[in-house]
Structure 1
Amino acid sequence: MLAAIDRQAGRIAALSEAILRDPETGFREVRTAARVEAELRAMGLRPETELAITGVRARLRGRCPGPTVAIIGELDALAVPDHPFAGAATGAAHACGHNAQVAAMIGAGLGLAEVMGDLDGDVVLFAVPAEETIEVGWRLEQRAAGRLEFIIGKPELIRLGAFDDVDLAITSHATVSTPDGPSIEVLGGAGASANGAVTKHVVFRGRAAHSGHEPWAGVDAQKALTVATVAIDAQRETFRDADHVRVHYTISAGGNAISSVPAEARLEIMVRAATVDGLRDASGKVDRALRAGAQALGASVEITTAAGYFPLEADPGGAELAAAAARAAVGAGQVRVHEITGHSGVSTDVADLARVMPVLSVLSGGATPGYGPHSSGFYIADSDRGVIAPAKAMALLTVELLRDGAARARALTAARPRMSRDEYVATRRSLEGAETYPSAPSAPPAGGGAARSRAVAASSTVPVAGSRTTP
């Protein structure tokens, strides 16, 4: 099996390089998905396509029915315009190494195809879209058009039932590299955890006016946004330390001309926390701050909250299995087990998948030394460590799970209760919402500046029919 991966190493590395040089962001990975489909067809498989818009999967069948293990590769890139391999037109770039994940998934499949007749269960090779939470406004437009409900890939695939026939999943991910670092790193420690998140798309609406002639006739949406962000910052000491709350945002629009009072301003916000209850609390406080900004300036604010990621809880026993498989694949000297008992502030939709099934992960080396994921210099520079090594590790881990009657796979699936798909979807929906506060200001009246100012103040509390208003 490992020899088969070695024989195909050039093909696997070339796929990683091709995807690196042709990046696409989430739910738009059309060319990347086509490359995956072509590779799966070349293996003699019959892939399913257009799952959650761009997802692709195919099944390798074992010698008898049993648990199904999915090997995951993530299709999407980030938006990092100053990355050396950024798309000229889009600014998209594989600054998180997802190109290597996809190639490693294919590599693992090429190796496993040689031994499926000895395994007591099936393998699904699954290329999934949109792990990164970016371009939130565009994704909400896709939701409004009925193309998706959840704005991140694995949650949407769970909702659609695309994981209903899968019992366990295996993922890989690139990590920070050093020239003499290991090829594979496994995160151990039963207490390891990571933040969940919700994402907010926020639009402040005011009224345009000549900023020099009569600014009092306008309602400044950008200043409402500014007040709101100050109010968010003022909330920071109210968050419990145990909730590990992080709030960060980007201003995506803030007016069109300095000679006109800005009538619209936009924010995208990510609120992270260690628990679902912590997410609810922090999200509510951020909403309160956004309303305060609108109220202070007499503007209105539209807040759309979309669930991002569930908090991550590590699977007991998974790290030991992954480490053993990695040592067998690349040698003990090339594997490091990083014991973690604390909490990480990062988020991933692997945590969502872990709510419905066990997930085992390996981290790979091979990235540019000195750069962290999501930075302008991060990409997979060494395909042996960043692509071939995780392909071998995931293939051997799959064999370990599915050999001897799939005893290890069955033990992991029975280790702790999981959410059903319906429970997961209901909980996720409970974190979402939309509101307008308090209402859009009415048009200014004719007459002098004083009359206009009085009318603006009065109109800021008049609700619009059909809108949701919040006291």
Structure 2
Amino acid sequence: MASRNEVKNRVCEAIDRRRDQICRMGDHIMVNPELGFKEFETAKLVAQTMDEFGIPCETELAITGVKGVLKGKKSGPTVAIIGELDSLLVSDHPQANSSTGAAHACGHNAQIAGLMGAMMGIVDTKAVDELAGTVVFFAVPAEEYVEVEYRMELVKSGKLSFLGGKPELIKLGHFDDIDMAIMIHTHSDLEMPKTAVSASSNGFVAKMIRFIGKAAHAGGAPHKGINALSAAQIALNAIQAQRETFQDQDAIRVHPVITKGGDLVNVIPAEVCMETYVRGRTAEAIMDANAKVDRALRAGALAMGAKVEIQTLPGYMPLKNNEKLSHLFKVNSQDLFGVEEFCEVGHRTGSTDMGDLSHVMPALHPYMSGASGPGHSVDWHISDKEMGYIGPAKALANMVVDLLHGDAAEARNILDGYVPEMSKEAFLRFQSDLYKSEVFDGNR
């Protein structure tokens, strides 16, 4: 049997030989972005590539997901490496789809290139002959929480239960045969080393809010109307007043926007719509802040005698990176790029549905450079293909070898004594219970 390092070196050399093919795939996806649960062409490309490399795969999982399975020579744990299929809505991005506004302004194209590159390296070298267990190559849909109204229509029609790809895949049972999951996200922070991992990041719930007042002539008879915009403004001020009650350790973020502020300047606004996330470090902190936001919304309606419709939707759970997987990523990152090119960044206040997975199995969501420009902006692009596409492929493949080589001692060590934050059943119950609708009448 070849040593672990020998297998890893062979895999990395094979990935280097496939460099042009991997980069072409990343570039192709970059200029052909698709929004969540609509990634049909990207999923087709992934499935075709798996077929080309002899990987049997399931398709159309949670509408567009693609799951390839490669079994090792001996039985053992199952490790999934993940890439996200979807793009964002950034219509002004130079490589945005002119019809949909979709744009890869967060690096998911690099994730798929890295996922496929890792697969190529493992298959080309027959590395599975040295592994005990199964490798799953999983291209998953809809990490970006966008087009909420469209996704809610899918929920109402029974095509979805949740608005994110990974919670939907968990619900459908497509992670039931997986023991742990790893992915790598691109970053563009010039002040960070090439690779980084956080201990955790925020989760969130989403809220859709509609204030209902009464129209009247804004100049001639404003007293005959009920100003829904004033109700919304009072609610926003009440949310601001709550901020001093948010504890620092909970990392609460509430960032509402008004999506409709009225119809005509000379008409008292009868309908005002808002959206917000309520983010926090723990589920308990999110629920506490969410209750305060609901009180603030009711207060705005009460003050003006308006009505408010509050719809709360399940978002994503807080991410808790597995410490042993984080250490393994650190070792491999430093081996590939140098000791100085890794850092730990503490808690992050963004959110990802990898947090949902981290509640039911050991999971890892680290970062690797390769991009320039702020994330989710018109300036984001892959500026270093070696780090953006090839680096993740090597790191993912090397971690798979580390975990499953020989008798899969590393993977078994991670699973030994591991207790998930939630059972699958408890997770699904918690997320499902977040669907809530309320109508509060401030005129009663």
TM-score (normalised: structure 2):
0.91
C-alpha distance in 2 between matches for 1:137 and 1:285: 25
C-alpha distance in 2 between matches for 1:204 and 1:24: 33
Report if the CA contact (8 A) 2:155-2:161 is conserved: yes
Give, in angstroms, the shift of residue 231 of structure 1: 1.3
Find the counterpart in structure 1 of residue 343 from structure 2. Answer: 338
Find the counterpart in structure 2 of residue 438 from structure 1. Answer: 441
Find the counterpart in structure 2 of residue 206 from structure 1. Answer: 213
Listed as ranges, the gaps of 5+ residues in structure 1 are 440-459, 462-471
Give, in angstroms, the shift of residue 255 of structure 1: 2.4
The one of 399, 402, 409 aligned to 1:400: 402
2:351 matches 1:347: yes
2:291 matches 1:287: no
Deviation string, structure 1 residues 239-280 (Cα, Å, up to 9, x no partner):
122211110122222223324333322111111111111111
2:411 matches 1:409: yes
The equivalences for 1:252-331 within 5 A come to 252-328=259-335, 330-331=336-337
The one of 421, 426, 431 aligned to 1:428: 431
Give, in angstroms, the shift of residue 109 of structure 1: 0.7
Report if the CA contact (8 A) 2:89-2:101 is conserved: yes
**What amino acid is aligned across from residue 99 of structure 1 in structure 2?**
N
Find the counterpart in structure 1 of residue 178 from structure 2. Answer: 166
C-alpha distance in 2 between matches for 1:344 and 1:178: 17
Give, in angstroms, the shift of residue 89 of structure 1: 2.5
**What amino acid is aligned across from residue 251 of structure 1 in structure 2?**
I
C-alpha distance in 1 between matches for 2:151 and 2:440: 23
Moved more, 161-170 or 16-25: 16-25
Give, in angstroms, the shift of residue 177 of structure 1: 4.4
CA gap 1:249/1:89 in 2 versus in 1, 3 angstroms? farther
Report if the CA contact (8 A) 2:166-2:356 is conserved: yes
3-state secondary structure, aligned to 1:357: coil
Alignment RMSD, CA only?
A: 2.0
Find the counterpart in structure 1 of residue 368 from structure 2. Answer: 364
Listed as ranges, the gaps of 5+ residues in structure 2 are 1-10
C-alpha distance in 2 between matches for 1:38 and 1:217: 64
Find the counterpart in structure 2 of residue 92 from structure 1. Answer: 102
**What amino acid is aligned across from residue 384 of structure 2 in structure 1?**
D
* Identity across the alignment (%): 45
C-alpha distance in 2 between matches for 1:33 and 1:262: 44
C-alpha distance in 2 between matches for 1:285 and 1:301: 15
Deviation string, structure 1 residues 268-300 (Cα, Å, up to 9, x no partner):
111111111111110000011111122222222
**What amino acid is aligned across from residue 36 of structure 2 in structure 1?**
G
CA gap 1:272/1:71 in 2 versus in 1, 3 angstroms? same
Report if the CA contact (8 A) 1:70-1:124 is conserved: yes
C-alpha distance in 2 between matches for 1:385 and 1:93: 20
C-alpha distance in 1 between matches for 2:270 and 2:39: 34
Give, in angstroms, the shift of residue 118 of structure 1: 1.8
What is the number of residues matched between the two proteins?
A: 431
Deviation string, structure 1 residues 41-76 (Cα, Å, up to 9, x no partner):
222233212212221111112112211111100112
Deviation string, structure 1 residues 117-141 (Cα, Å, up to 9, x no partner):
2211111111111212222233222
CA gap 1:33/1:212 in 2 versus in 1, 3 angstroms? farther
2:376 matches 1:374: yes
C-alpha distance in 1 between matches for 2:212 and 2:109: 40
CA gap 1:186/1:178 in 2 versus in 1, 3 angstroms? closer
Find the counterpart in structure 2 of residue 107 from structure 1. Answer: 117
3-state secondary structure, aligned to 1:23: coil
User: Which structure has the larger Rg?
Assistant: 1
The equivalences for 1:56-71 within 5 A come to 56-71=66-81
